[in-house]
Amino acid sequence: MSYISPPVHPIQMNRATKPNSSVQIRINTDVVWYSGDKKMRIRFWILGITLLLSLAPLCTAADNYSTAAIPAGNVTATLTAPPSVTGSGNDYNSGVIDLQTGWNLVGIPRRLAEDKNSASLFAHIDSAGRSIWTFDPAGKGWKDLTAQDKLSPLDGYFIYSAKPDKVTLSYSVDPLQVPPVKDLQTGWNLVGFSGATDASARDSLLSIRKTWTQVIGWDPVKQQTEDSIINGGNDTHADSRMMIPMRAYWVYADSPCSLASIGA
């Protein structure tokens, strides 16, 4: 048995040694890319037979794998994607923020519909009496939100959830809206990621490439900050590391600048 796959997709296949035994494929979803229709397709050639597999929308989460057992002689199989940590169930006009138990650092990637753009979107979340927080670096510091406060694209919000939960977003469909821009101050800024799919920090912050120095994310599963991403960094601090939809990040700027959204 043999297979061919693009070198950018790390795939492990265990050879079947007995008739009617199965073949298992393991795909590391941390580093696999998928096409714009939110499905990834991988083509294998097994004993001259072409096998085309489709993978449901992927998430980026450490140690997540999708597996499929392919019976010998059968050229069809279904891959089941692992549960998404953030941003599952999204389409062009709506999105879903998946909350983990504990503190979550979330972002609103696009402008919301006029009647659904306030912090009341979080009213159903059991926050165990804790406030929802955002950060204004221009002298005001931390601010706790009221239900009437508007949610802005490119802003970041700390929200506590007593259990895993979801928040559904309805985006504005105004075709004349201008893509969002956020003014950053010198120092640390809380920035919501604006992409619909994962993108490297280098690409996400291209509009401020000369002024940003560090990015620090929050791991909602481990309830701790992530390793920093450094502009021009290497290894664990490489700016090729991904930023994730529906999340927000601390971004340090060494001078005032304006961050443009990478999505409309």
Element (H, E) at 201: helix 201-204
pLDDT tens, position by position, 62-118: 334 344 444 455 444 444 443 333 444 566 789 999 999 999 999 999 999 999 999
Structure tokens at 28: 């590391």
In terms of domains, do 114 and 40 share one? no
In terms of domains, do 119 and 200 share one? yes
Each residue of 232-247: b (16+ CB within 10 Å) or e?
Answer: ebeeeeebebbbbbbb
Asked whether the whole model's pTM tops 0.85, one would answer no
In terms of domains, do 60 and 141 share one? no
Residue 78 lies in a domain: no
In terms of domains, do 131 and 16 share one? no
**pLDDT of 34 strictly over 70:** no
User: Are the C-beta atoms of residues 128 and 163 closer than 8 Å to each other?
Assistant: no
pLDDT at 35: 39
Q: Which residue is listed with tokens 């043999």?
A: 2
In terms of domains, do 30 and 100 share one? no
User: Are the C-beta atoms of residues 104 and 115 closer than 8 Å to each other?
Assistant: no
**pLDDT of 220 strictly over 70:** yes
Tally of residues, the chain: 264
Structure tokens at 236: 């664990």
In terms of domains, do 219 and 144 share one? yes
Which domain covers residue 43, as residue numbers? 11-71
**Spatial distance between the Cα atoms of 168 and 89, rounded to a whole number of angstroms:** 9
pLDDT at 90: 61
In terms of domains, do 57 and 104 share one? no
**Spatial distance between the Cα atoms of 239 and 215, rounded to a whole number of angstroms:** 9
Q: What is the number of domains present in the chain?
A: 2
pLDDT tens, position by position, 166-203: 999 999 999 999 999 999 999 999 999 999 999 999 99
Which has more pLDDT, 221 or 24? 221
Share of the chain above pLDDT 70, in %: 65
**pLDDT of 221 strictly over 90:** yes
Residue 248 lies in a domain: yes
In terms of domains, do 163 and 249 share one? yes
Read off the DSSP letter of residue 176. T
User: Are the C-beta atoms of residues 160 and 104 closer than 8 Å to each other?
Assistant: yes
**pLDDT of 47 strictly over 60:** no
Phi first, then psi: what are they for 237, rounded to 5°? -100, 15
Residue 111 lies in a domain: yes
140: left (phi over 0), alpha (psi -120 to 50) or beta: alpha
In terms of domains, do 47 and 131 share one? no
9-23, 50-64, 140-154: which is most confident: 140-154
Q: Is 19 exposed, middle or buried (0-12, 13-18, 19+ CB in 10 A)?
A: exposed
